[in-house]
Structure 1
Amino acid sequence: MSAPRLLVIQPDRSDPAGPLGDWLTAAGAELDVRLPPEDELPDDLDGYQGLVCLGGGMNAEEDDKYPWLNSVRNLLAAGAHGGLPTLGICLGAQLLAVATGGSVVPGDKGPEVGPYLVSKKDAAWTDPLFADLPLMPDVLHFHGDEIRRLPVGAVLLASAPKYTNQAYRLGRCAYGIQFHIETTVDVVQAWAAEAPDMAATARPGVFDTEALTQVHEDIAATWQPFATRFVQLAAGEIQPVEPTPHTLPLA
């Protein structure tokens, strides 16, 4: 198969595809990056073999300020329901959840900010993208909202003590991750400077250059192979999960 073409939606100029974009292209993908509202979003997903939605500073339903969010949610719902390999990152995961019947609300335990570990759930060990991740992969958090309720039928793949719904799969090949894997040291430090109140909730020293450099090396070691598997999924080189059979209860 030729290089899979991925639509990459970048909701916020402050959160580019970064290393994730490099990993996807290194794995053979062709990226069509759209930054709304400057870049028009396509009406549908025809011609794409995968969809990625990145993070941003807005809320998942803040349509009064960002009316184009409705189009993003529609595309994510189309990807999820149409069996297109789909990946939502932080805000992208929240948009995917809302678009398919879940709920996103302000986190009642405060912001989740800084480097953390998340823990794989049982279902992750048989998932084509998550199975090869370590038990507790490194991630980077910077969010105040949480996915309070997953969409009906979603499978929880990773969790954490503060907020449960850290990663999930919807259908056979739509994924949401409530954390960042695409950042750089400069990007995270810029976020901390722009949102000092949120940054102040993180552990002391986590935004130091040396600390963030090590964190991003750890993230790359874990998540670049994940990105490669996503491209392989979009290319048809690895198969999505088998559909769950629907059975009637015994009388």
Structure 2
Amino acid sequence: MGRRLRFPPFPRRIAMDALTPLPLAIIQTGVPPAPVASRHGNFSHMIREAAGLAADEVEVVAVHAGERLRGPAGYRAAIITGSPAMVTDREAWSETTAGWIREAAGLGLPMFGICYGHQLLAHALGGAVDYHPQGREVGTNTVELLEAAGGIPLLAGLPSRFPAHLIHQQSVVALPAGATVLARSAHDPHQIVHYHGAIYSSQYHPEFCPRIMGTYLAHFQPQLGREGFDVEALQAGVCATPAARELLLRFVRRHARLEKAA
């Protein structure tokens, strides 16, 4: 059981000056492999493209490269990206970001974590992360919504089962106290998690499109083959994932667009 953190009874929305709107923070925790980045850009670019965010709506902070976030009150929301890093390595930049996440959660800042960001949120708020005992999850796999998702507006109307793009070795192995699992896959029981207020995360990558997933599979083909994966079958299974992307779109529309922030 993770340590229990105290939060305000209702999330306290961060004030926004009407003349100088606060930016959405994209907390960049790493960069994709060079062949992926050269074709598709960094994780922050993928998120902006998938969510339809303009450059002037976001502030990208590359925490893995030593860039520093302003205080949580300086943002209207935050999205935490994926990374090739491992949460269990407890790198200094990652632990500093975990501390920032705890402070932001106490203020009720809306946050959305993706892959590494999903794991870092769980770690920061009192859960546990480790290597998955069954190894890597990779490819376009089925995500299944759980009964708890029924009362969550971000998931309303989505199909009960939908495809999503994944590539990860570590997973959330224990949830923070008070967190709720909203979706699972056959491999990983914690695919979408709601932590508190407007704080969500997904183990899958809602910002990936089939081209990005295909580039990942091509780049990692030798390694995946050594791990026993049928890479041709994985490539054949890649498909569009509009329902998976919808979670990111809805978070951005509800909590992060300039015209919607309040």
Please, which of 4, 9, 12 is the counterpart of residue 30 of structure 2?
12
Q: Determine the C-alpha separation between the residues in 2 that align with 1:235 and 1:107.
A: 32
Structure 1 stretches lacking a partner, 5+ long: 240-251
Q: Determine the C-alpha separation between the residues in 2 that align with 1:29 and 1:82.
A: 24
Please, which of 54, 77, 90 is the counterpart of residue 102 of structure 2?
77
Task: Describe how 1:151-190 pairs up with structure 2 within 5 A.
Answer: 151-184=176-209, 185-186=211-212, 188-190=214-216
The answer to whether the 8 A contact 1:17-1:182 is kept is: no
The residue aligned with 1:243 is none
User: In the TM superposition, what whole-angstrom CA distance separates every residue of 1:131-155 from its partner, at most 9, and x where no partner exists?
Assistant: 2321112111111112110110001
Give the total of aligned pairs: 231
The residue aligned with 1:57 is 84
Task: Describe how 1:1-251 pairs up with structure 2 within 5 A.
Answer: 5-14=23-32, 15-26=42-53, 30-38=57-65, 40-63=67-90, 66-184=91-209, 185-186=211-212, 188-190=214-216, 192-194=218-220, 196-198=222-224, 200-206=227-233, 208=235, 212=238, 215=239, 218-219=240-241, 221-234=242-255
The answer to whether the 8 A contact 1:157-1:168 is kept is: yes
The SS at the match of 1:51 is strand
Aligned-pair distance for 1:67?
Answer: 1.7
Q: Determine the C-alpha separation between the residues in 2 that align with 1:238 and 1:122.
A: 29
Question: CA 1:44–1:164 in 2, change beyond 3 Å: closer, same or farther?
Answer: same
Aligned-pair distance for 1:81?
Answer: 2.9
Q: Determine the C-alpha separation between the residues in 1 that align with 2:82 and 2:111.
A: 14
Question: CA 1:176–1:37 in 2, change beyond 3 Å: closer, same or farther?
Answer: closer
The answer to whether the 8 A contact 1:111-1:198 is kept is: no
Q: Determine the C-alpha separation between the residues in 1 that align with 2:132 and 2:72.
A: 32
Q: Determine the C-alpha separation between the residues in 1 that align with 2:125 and 2:174.
A: 11
Aligned-pair distance for 1:77?
Answer: 2.1
Question: CA 1:145–1:30 in 2, change beyond 3 Å: closer, same or farther?
Answer: same
* Identity fraction in percent: 25
Aligned-pair distance for 1:182?
Answer: 1.6
Aligned-pair distance for 1:189?
Answer: 2.0
Q: Which moved more, 1:167-176 or 1:73-82?
A: 73-82
**TM norm structure 1:** 0.80
The answer to whether the 8 A contact 1:4-1:28 is kept is: no
The residue aligned with 1:245 is none
The SS at the match of 2:58 is strand
Aligned-pair distance for 1:51?
Answer: 0.7
The answer to whether the 8 A contact 2:139-2:165 is kept is: yes
The answer to whether the 8 A contact 2:28-2:81 is kept is: yes
Structure 2 stretches lacking a partner, 5+ long: 1-15, 33-41
The SS at the match of 2:95 is helix
Q: Which amino acid aligns with 1:233?
A: R
